[in-house]
Every structure is written in structure tokens, then in C-alpha cells.
Amino acid sequence: MTIHKIIAVAALSIVTVAGAAHAADKLVVGFSQIGSESGWRAAETKVAKIEAGKRGIELKISDAQQKEENQIKAVRAFIAQGVDAIFIAPVVATGWEQVLKEARDAKVPVILLDRGIDVKDASLYLTVVRSDAVYEGEAAGDWLAKATSGKPCNVVELQGTVGASVAIDRKKGFEKAVAEHPSLKIIRTQSGDFTRAKGKEVMESFIKAENGGKNICAMYAHNDDMAIGAIQAIKEAGLKPGKDIMVVSIDGVPDIFKAMSEGDANVTVELTPNMAGPAFDALIALKKDGKAPPKWIKTETKLYQPDTAKAEYERRKELY
């Protein structure tokens, strides 16, 4: 190991979740998590710990605080520790080749969670557990076109983190729906970085630029947290979210169901936070029977409207 690598390993703070001892028969998984930008992300981390516990797996979580360089350091640290597998929720899609080659050389399988990456050589990772994010954006757009009954509708879009596969795909999917429904028009689009604070800030600037919000028919956000920030901005501008400006977003976190039940939001497209469960199962099948998983383990997508919002809120607030 080089001095550089030793320093990187020592500098990383990695939290071990299930049991400190590394028994010979116990799988140890290192998880490079993006951070805690949204309610969905917090839920994914929580569910990963629960799913690890259910299977008796030791999970070491490293928080990258939204930085790819921290994720790369964490992966190197996990390799040095001799973990059985590495899970990565990649903050952005590019820049992964080198460190994934290092994992492959060390014979440590890598499973991607909730976001994809751009690599020429797909053998650099075992599988990816994620939704069809293009479909999520398309479902949101199709719903909006139907809900506005073909009447002209100016949409402002809050994008996720720049360079994240989910932001790219959710934009692509929504644009696909817009191309099929000419009544919808995206008049402004900007990143709100998947956070409530940024979602609110960007929405405020959209409202200011669009005649105090009067030119805006709907707001499409790549996640619920940005939508919740935007709802606040709409209220502060003296408008009624869900009515004066329709609110359409993705994730299915408890707070958006609360907003829907109060009439402040119109629809959410659910992304399950249980990415780790299917990843652990794929890893166990590989280790025990040598069975390789499909390259994409696709999670289910479901659209929710206000009619079930209250019940969904009650159900989810316990889970998250």
C-alpha cells in the first residue's frame, strides 16, 4: 500500500453498523453513501441498515458529503480493509473507471445503488439496483398532460444534482412526455441539487422572473424535497400550491404525502428506498451459489395521487 493510500484510509470516517467482529462466515459490505441531501436518502440509509441486520451482514457506511472524491477514497479504504463487497450510490455518473478497476483487481464485487454510471466496460460492476428514472419523468409528464386536459401549461423544472444519472434521466423522461403533449411547455429549468433549501431558492427566482408566478401553471421537481421547498416559495409569493401552481415530483417521502393530503401537492412518483435489500440478496446468491445477478435489478415505480395521501403518510412516517 502506498503512503497516499494509508493516509486516505486513516482519514475516512466509516461507521460500522452490525457487529464489530468480522466472523469468517459473516459477509462484510462497505457502502459509500452520497450524503443526506433528502428525506429519501436518509430513508435509503436507514433501510440499508435494517436489511443488513436481517441478513446478519456487517455494513460499514461512509458518508461522502456529496463529493465523488470522498466516494473514491471510501472505495479505496474498503478495498484495503478486505470487505466482501462494496456498494456505491454514485453521486455523479462519470469518473469511476480507475477506482472500479482497482476493486476488480482486488476481486471485490461492486454493486451500484439507486444511480447509474457511464463506463465503457460494464464488467467493472456486478449489477445496479435502481428504478427506470426516464420512466419516472415520463410518468410525471403524462400525468400532468392528462390533469391539465390538453390546456396550455407552462412548466418550471427543478433538476437534481448536475451530472447525476437520475437528474439526467428524469429530465429526459419528462421531455419525452412534453414532446408527446404539445400543451406542456418547459419555460424554465435549473438545478436545485435535490435539497429543500435549494428548491425553495430556485423556485423563488422562477416566480420573480415569471410575473410573480402568474405565468407558471406547474412545477416539476426531480425529487420531493425540492418540491417541498418550492411549495414554501409559492406560499410566500401569495399563491396556492397545488392549485395556482400544480406540484409534481418524484420519491414518495412522507412529507410530500402530508402536502398532498393538505392540497399543496398533486402527484408523486414513488422511488423505493429499499435498494440495499435486493443488492444483499444478489451478493449472497453470488457468494453461496456463484450465481451472477442480472446487470440491472429494476425496482418498481408507482404513481400516487391525493386520494390515498393521508393513509400513505400515516404508513410511511413510521417507516422513514
Residue 126 or 164: which CB sits closer to ligand AHR?
164
Q: State the nearest-atom distance from the C-beta of 200 to ligand AHR, in Å.
A: 15
* CB distance 165 to 127 below 8 Å: no
Query: What is the Cα–Cα distance from 171 to 133, expressed in whole angstroms?
Result: 9
Q: Does 194 bind ligand AHR (CB under 6 A)?
A: yes
Query: What is the Cα–Cα distance from 170 to 36, expressed in whole angstroms?
Result: 20
Q: State the nearest-atom distance from the C-beta of 29 to ligand AHR, in Å.
A: 19
Contact with ligand AHR (CB under 6 A): which of 63, 114, 157, 270? 114
262-281 residues near ligand AHR, rule: CB under 6 A: 271
* Residues touching ligand AHR, count (CB under 6 A): 13
Q: Does 299 bind ligand AHR (CB under 6 A)?
A: no
Q: Which of 229, 271, 262, 259 has the alpha carbon at shortest distance from 140?
A: 271
Distances (CA, A) of 70 to 13, 38, 67, 128, 141: 10, 19, 5, 20, 35
Q: State the nearest-atom distance from the C-beta of 225 to ligand AHR, in Å.
A: 6
Q: State the nearest-atom distance from the C-beta of 26 to ligand AHR, in Å.
A: 29
* CB distance 182 to 151 below 8 Å: no
Residue 9 or 171: which CB sits closer to ligand AHR?
171
Q: State the nearest-atom distance from the C-beta of 39 to ligand AHR, in Å.
A: 7
Q: Does 316 bind ligand AHR (CB under 6 A)?
A: no
Q: Does 115 bind ligand AHR (CB under 6 A)?
A: yes
Contact with ligand AHR (CB under 6 A): which of 166, 218, 230, 237? 166
Q: State the nearest-atom distance from the C-beta of 36 to ligand AHR, in Å.
A: 9
* CB distance 247 to 257 below 8 Å: no
Residue 28 or 133: which CB sits closer to ligand AHR?
133
Query: What is the Cα–Cα distance from 84 to 56, expressed in whole angstroms?
Result: 14
Query: What is the Cα–Cα distance from 190 to 293, expressed in whole angstroms?
Result: 37
Query: What is the Cα–Cα distance from 165 to 228, expressed in whole angstroms?
Result: 22
Q: How far apart are the first and last CA of the chain?
A: 40
Q: State the nearest-atom distance from the C-beta of 115 to ligand AHR, in Å.
A: 5
DSSP string, 260-302: HHTTS--EEEEE-S--HHHHHHHHHHHHHH-PPPPSEEEPPEE
Contact with ligand AHR (CB under 6 A): which of 71, 223, 299, 301? 223
Q: Which of 281, 274, 265 has the alpha carbon at shortest distance from 300?
A: 274
> Binding string to ligand AHR for residues 120 to 149, with x set by CB under 6 A, is what?
------------------------------
Distances (CA, A) of 246 to 133, 155, 213, 316: 21, 9, 11, 23
24-83 residues near ligand AHR, rule: CB under 6 A: 37-38, 40-41
**Residue ranges binding ligand AHR (CB under 6 A):** 37-38, 40-41, 114-115, 166, 194, 223, 225, 250-251, 271
